[in-house]
């Protein structure tokens, strides 16, 4: 049985998880592949760094270049994270024509176009299943399973920390701050949680999915991002009364047909909290789980669900990529499935101001006659219709929440209206706006 020698850079939580999973199921993989994968060397920051699973000391080195440049290492796994040194590591391996397996979504988001181009120039391949949604095989599905489809819509719950927080806020009626503190105590959220709760992690993953689905590289700077800090217990409560729940979504969907002067293809690529109907399957994705809903013009609606993070889910995806890379090496088919093909070079990301959706609005207003009429008049002048209203009764003269659901409007129109509404004397706090996704 042919043996494929593997070098890995990174032996921390994820790296040791991959090594542990390989030691557990390596023989099973060999029986399925007809190939034996063998770890030859593993570069780590320090020999004695804490790691959840032990790695044989004889495999360890602190010199990553010795792993990449070893002529007997046929495949390189990059699991160090970050976008600087990791970029150098991946490029060094690709220049030697070696396939690279990575779980580094930040690296792909920032430098994916460069890395895929380097892979093409040097006849190598770049495998990145573990970069989005952990153990959920969404990358392979988009690259291979849906190769005959135009992907019209993608909606992803791709950050487990945010989903855990929002799930508990809904199910327990808790406030954001207290749930975040508990998530940090349990290890579901980092001590400095901004990457997750401000939407940056979801931005990286959503950009990768958008690029792969639509055939042009999406610059992360063009992705509109909002996190979940502004979502309150009240918002969860009123969303529930209206038949919705709130989830942080990565959204990729085709925009309406463009004007003649605009590019041939435009897509909305956004990350923001959204109200979604309680009847939709994504509304029932709870805790740290991830899910990606994809709609193809041939296949229709599909759903991918599972654990999106953690050493075991990530290890499962890395092992899958290792298997593909090994088969490609053994059969000399490094470009069997290209990592990324730019097949829509004229594509562009829709500016968020032109995106259209219904909206949920929460206003803190003085309960007195005429206030709702003032607000409705401003919305009317901006051509925004109201579909429903919730306001507590019996609080005349006091400040109360006023909840409005609107019909479709552009983001620009809604922001203009809210700026005017916020200047009304009866409005006592900045308006809260959350978009609504009905999956139409």
Q: Sort strands 35-43 and 60-61 into parallel, antiparallel or unpaired.
A: parallel
Cα angle vertex 80, ends 218, 250, to 5°?
Answer: 35
308 contacts 134 by C-beta, under 8 angstroms? yes
Cα separation, 69 vs 88, whole angstroms: 13
Hey, what are 330's tokens? 């053994």
Distance separating alpha carbons of residues 218 and 248, to the nearest angstrom: 20
Residue 252, CB-side half-sphere exposure with 13 Å CA sphere: 31
Instruction: Quote the distance between the C-alpha of residue 304 and its chain's center.
Output: 13
Which sign, positive or negative, has the C-alpha torsion 223, 227, 231, 235?
Answer: positive
* SS3 annotation, 310-357: CHHHHHHHHHHHHHHHHHHHHCCCCCCCCCCCCCCCCCEECCHHHCEE
Residues near 361 by Cβ (< 8 Å), separated by ≥ 6? 403, 404, 405, 406, 418, 431, 432, 433
- Polymer length of the chain: 440
d(Cα 379, Cα 390) in Å, to the nearest integer?
16
Pick the catalytic residue from 98, 105, 170, 205: 205
* Strand pairing category for 359-366 and 432-436: antiparallel
Instruction: With residue 184 as reference, give the H or E element that holds it.
Output: helix 176-186
Q: Which one, of 282, 286, 279, 254, lies nearest residue 156 by Cα?
A: 282
As to burial, measured by CB atoms within 10 angstroms (0-12 exposed, 13-18 middle, 19+ buried), residue 260 is exposed
Lookup result for tokens 């909305």: 268
227 SS3 class? coil
205 labelled catalytic? yes
What residues form DSSP beta bridges with 266? 348
Q: Which residues are catalytic?
A: 205
């Amino acid at each position: 049985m042919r043996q494929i020698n593997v070098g890995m850079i990174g032996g921390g939580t994820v790296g040791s998880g991959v090594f542990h999973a390989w030691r557990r199921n390596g023989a099973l993989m060999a029986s399925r592949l007809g190939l034996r994968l063998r770890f030859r060397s593993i570069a780590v920051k320090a020999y004695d760094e804490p790691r959840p699973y032990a790695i044989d000391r004889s495999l360890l080195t602190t010199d990553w270049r010795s792993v990449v440049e070893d002529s007997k290492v046929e495949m390189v796994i990059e699991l160090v994270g970050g976008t600087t040194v990791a970029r150098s590591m991946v490029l060094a391996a690709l220049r030697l024509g070696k396939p690279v397996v990575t779980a580094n979504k930040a690296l792909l988001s920032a430098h994916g176009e460069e890395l895929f181009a380097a892979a093409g120039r040097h006849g190598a391949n770049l495998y990145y299943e573990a970069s989005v949604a952990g153990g959920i095989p969404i990358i392979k599905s988009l690259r291979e399973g849906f190769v005959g489809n135009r992907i019209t819509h993608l909606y992803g719950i791709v950050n487990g920390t945010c989903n855990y927080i929002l799930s508990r806020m809904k199910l327990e009626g808790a406030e954001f701050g207290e749930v975040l503190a508990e998530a940090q105590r349990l290890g579901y959220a980092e001590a400095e949680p901004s990457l997750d709760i401000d939407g940056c992690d979801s931005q990286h993953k959503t950009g990768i999915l958008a690029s792969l689905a639509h055939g042009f590289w999406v610059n992360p700077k063009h992705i509109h991002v909002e996190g979940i800090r502004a979502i309150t217990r009240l918002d969860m409560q009123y969303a529930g009364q209206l038949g919705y729940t709130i989830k942080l979504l990565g959204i990729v969907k085709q925009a309406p047909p463009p004007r003649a002067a605009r590019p041939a293809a435009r897509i909305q690529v956004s990350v923001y909290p959204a109200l979604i109907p309680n009847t939709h399957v994504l509304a029932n994705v709870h805790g740290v789980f991830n899910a990606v809903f994809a709609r193809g013009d041939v296949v229709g609606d599909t759903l991918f669900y599972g654990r999106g993070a953690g050493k075991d889910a990530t290890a499962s995806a890395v092992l899958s990529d290792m298997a593909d890379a090994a088969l490609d090496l053994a059969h000399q088919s490094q470009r069997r499935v290209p990592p990324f093909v730019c097949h829509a070079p004229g594509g562009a990301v829709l500016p968020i101001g032109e995106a259209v959706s219904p909206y949920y609005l929460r206003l803190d207003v003085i309960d007195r006659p005429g206030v709702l009429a003032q607000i409705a008049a401003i919305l009317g002048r901006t051509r925004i219709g109201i579909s429903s209203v919730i306001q507590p009764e019996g609080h005349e003269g006091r400040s109360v929440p006023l909840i409005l659901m609107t019909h479709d409007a552009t983001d620009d129109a809604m922001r203009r209206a809210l700026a005017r509404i916020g200047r009304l004397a009866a409005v006592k706090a900045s308006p809260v706006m959350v978009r609504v996704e009905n999956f139409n």
